[in-house]
Structure 1
Amino acid sequence: MNVRDVVPRDAIPSIDEPAFAETYDGDPDDEAIVIDFEGAPARAYPLGILHYHEIVNDEVAGRPIAVTWCPLCASAVVYDRTVDGRALEFGVSESDTSGGSKDSLVLSFGVSGKLADDDLVLYDRETDSEWKQSLGECIAGEFEGRALTVLPASVTTVERFRRDHRGGGVLVPPGGRSEASGDGPEMAPIEYDAAPYERYFAGDGFGLAAHRGDGSREWGRDDLAPKEIVLGIERDGTALGVPRSRVVGADADRENARGPEDEATDDATTESGVVTVTIGDLPIVVFATPDGMAAFESPGYAFTSTDDPHAFDGDGTRWNGATGESTDGRNLARVPTRRLFAFAWQDDHGPEAFYGE
């Protein structure tokens, strides 16, 4: 792991007192990290805001969370901020003490100014430990070797969020100054519509050097692009990255195999897809829609694409590929995932840790 200092600590300021509104002044097609925990309205954290802050320390439904974003890796991960004592599992009630001691420490995270393999390094203000964002693992300090708990989240557009979560809140830009606004390590006033990573996302290169226009890291494979979007899933010590192209391609193959009499549409085969994988002992269904990817515990149904690229048929009803909700009132259980570029997943887990290898 290559760890290096890039900018001063907190030159990219975290958001520690987030505010939310039902309105959003940006482009409705802007992407956002979305959480939808039981007991609280859904929340969206637009990436156009996170470019300048990278971390939001928040609390939702009584759970301290860190919404984290690394623009270089396109890595969107939501973590539980509780460590020490019992490692909280999503869905376990606070009254359940079977997991061990409830004496736990809630961390508050900031941007260290370091990169580990081109990925954001967080630091916690309580112990000064450092954490690799894409892994959630402490790489230096008191908690070295410990890992944060990943929580269920997704990345979709603000417009789709509004359709699926009426009454949900969208993060309000706090303003201020950030290193991401300037041309060097100095902080500058934030202009949220400036799109500081637009050229990087559109280019072929990857990593800090590509962002700064100084070249690119090498990529030794041609079956996946280094900036292919991957949904990373871990369970029982097994890690599997599911590339978007392989979900869409697998579904296209199935549609094509049915023949023209089945009237498969172009939208269903080119914009959406579904695959089922088993990680550890858990079957997981992964949906790809035009607005993002999502993973849920598989109920054992055979899902197929429809004429609506946002929806899938299964067990006699239609399912929303972003939320896992069916038209007859059922809900699939969302699986904790990491959304990131292929090169970042490979940095963390190796070249064989992809679906379809």
Structure 2
Amino acid sequence: MNVRQVIPRDAIPSVNGPEFGSAYDGNPDDRVVVFEPESGPVRAYPVRYLHYHEIVNDEPNGQPIAVTWCPLCGSAIVYSREASQGTLEFGVSGKLAADDLVMYDRETETEWKQSSGEAIAGELRGESLAVLPAALITWNEFRERHSDGLVLQPPGGESEASGPGDDPAPIDYDAEPYRAYFEHDGFGLDAHRGGDSRAWKRDDIDPKAVVLGLESDGDALGFPLPRVEDAGNVVTASIGEIDVVVFAADGIHAFEHLGFNFEYEDELFFRADGVRWHGASGESGGGRQLTRLPARRLFAFAWQDDHGEDGFWSPE
């Protein structure tokens, strides 16, 4: 694995002791990472802020979590901060592993690959962080579904992502430091900085196609959003011992499959067992709730780096 130091440690500052409120100063179609704690209001973490911080160390009602985001990999993953040495606090190491964020914990200085949650160097090498259920949806959808939900308030400060060099600069959350990268075909750090893209030796999946990665009992399967859309916006599969249903609805979402025959109805809704189901939340019109599965949302190239060329779902 190619690991390289790109910027100084903590030049991109993690958020520690985050503050929350009901108001958000961004646009309705801004994406937010949504986490539902074991108790208390649902929380939203705007990607608009995560561009400049990449990690939020949070503890909703005593549940220690790390909300993580790697812009280069498009990877939004929420992890438990519990490990064999206790509760960890994470920071941005300034290193990349195959163009993926390398986190470090401040307790043992172990380094962790963000997309896989695996400790790749240090005292805890070989351990893996537990993935927690989360979703990536628009702010507008979040507010409509969770009227009493809380949203991360602007952390402020300085970040390397704000300036042209390696030194932190004052943050302007209205700027879009990765807009050109997301709009162009190239991928990886060099492409982001205007250089050559990494090679991509397949034409059936775009390297920056959005993928939802699921793992169970040692098996892993990534669901490319375009393939799910082409299959009618809903697919079912088995991963290890778990049957899953995956919806394309304001992003891509995976739930435990109860055996219903889901049929696409319109932009966000599916029909099964005589009622409508909301594909992004798993809620039914009859008050039932599908169980959201722990998942990794990321670009196809990052999933392939971790799981190989055959790690993608495809229709039979």
Larger C-alpha radius of gyration, 1 or 2?
1
Q: Which residue of 2 aligns with 1:56?
A: 56
Q: Which residue of 1 aligns with 2:175?
A: 194
Q: Which residue of 2 aligns with 1:33?
A: 33
User: CA contact under 8 A between 2:211 and 2:225: conserved in structure 1?
Assistant: yes
Shift of 1:215: 1.2
In 1, distance between residues paired with 2:251 and 2:195?
30
Q: Which residue of 2 aligns with 1:332?
A: 290
In 1, distance between residues paired with 2:113 and 2:38?
28
Letter in 2 for 1:314: A
* 1:65 partnered with 2:76: no
1:161-207 Cα distance to aligned partner (Å, 9 max, x none): 00111110111111100000000101100000100000000001000
Q: 1:302 aligns with which of 240, 261, 268?
A: 261
Letter in 2 for 1:350: G
Note the 1:308-347 alignment, pairs <5 A: 308-347=266-305
TM-score, normalised with respect to structure 2: 0.98
Letter in 1 for 2:81: R
* 1:276 partnered with 2:240: no
In 2, distance between residues paired with 1:40 and 1:275?
32
Letter in 2 for 1:299: L
In 2, distance between residues paired with 1:206 and 1:41?
36
Letter in 1 for 2:269: A
Letter in 2 for 1:80: S
Shift of 1:36: 1.4
1:204-249 Cα distance to aligned partner (Å, 9 max, x none): 1000000000110000000000000000000000010000011110
Letter in 2 for 1:296: F
In 2, distance between residues paired with 1:15 and 1:49?
10
In 1, distance between residues paired with 2:176 and 2:167?
18
Q: 1:131 aligns with which of 112, 120, 131?
A: 112
Note the 1:166-181 alignment, pairs <5 A: 166-181=147-162
Q: Provide the secondary structure at the position in 2 that maps to 1:52.
A: helix
Structure 1 unmatched runs, 5+: 85-103, 252-272
Q: Which residue of 2 aligns with 1:94?
A: none
Q: 2:251 aligns with which of 292, 298, 308?
A: 292
Letter in 1 for 2:236: T
Shift of 1:76: 0.5
TM-score, normalised with respect to structure 1: 0.87
Structure 2 unmatched runs, 5+: none
User: CA contact under 8 A between 2:38 and 2:63: conserved in structure 1?
Assistant: no
1:3-58 Cα distance to aligned partner (Å, 9 max, x none): 00000000000000111111111111000110113412111101010000000000
User: CA contact under 8 A between 2:102 and 2:113: conserved in structure 1?
Assistant: yes
Q: Which residue of 2 aligns with 1:76?
A: 76
Q: Which residue of 1 aligns with 2:93?
A: 112
Q: Provide the secondary structure at the position in 1 that maps to 2:59.
A: strand
In 2, distance between residues paired with 1:280 and 1:226?
26
Moved over 4 A (4+): none
Q: Provide the secondary structure at the position in 1 that maps to 2:190.
A: helix
Q: Provide the secondary structure at the position in 1 that maps to 2:15.
A: coil
In 2, distance between residues paired with 1:39 and 1:82?
18
Q: Provide the secondary structure at the position in 1 that maps to 2:253.
A: strand
In 1, distance between residues paired with 2:31 and 2:173?
14
* 1:232 partnered with 2:213: yes
Q: Which residue of 1 aligns with 2:193?
A: 212
Letter in 1 for 2:263: T
In 1, distance between residues paired with 2:283 and 2:231?
23
Shift of 1:60: 1.9
Q: Provide the secondary structure at the position in 2 that maps to 1:160.
A: helix
In 2, distance between residues paired with 1:344 and 1:129?
21
1:270-328 Cα distance to aligned partner (Å, 9 max, x none): xxx11011000111000111x2111000010000111x311110111011111111010
Shift of 1:61: 3.4
User: CA contact under 8 A between 2:37 and 2:63: conserved in structure 1?
Assistant: no
Aligned residues: 315
User: CA contact under 8 A between 2:268 and 2:280: conserved in structure 1?
Assistant: yes
Q: Which residue of 2 aligns with 1:14?
A: 14
In 2, distance between residues paired with 1:143 and 1:58?
21
Q: Which residue of 2 aligns with 1:267?
A: none
Q: Provide the secondary structure at the position in 2 that maps to 1:24.
A: coil
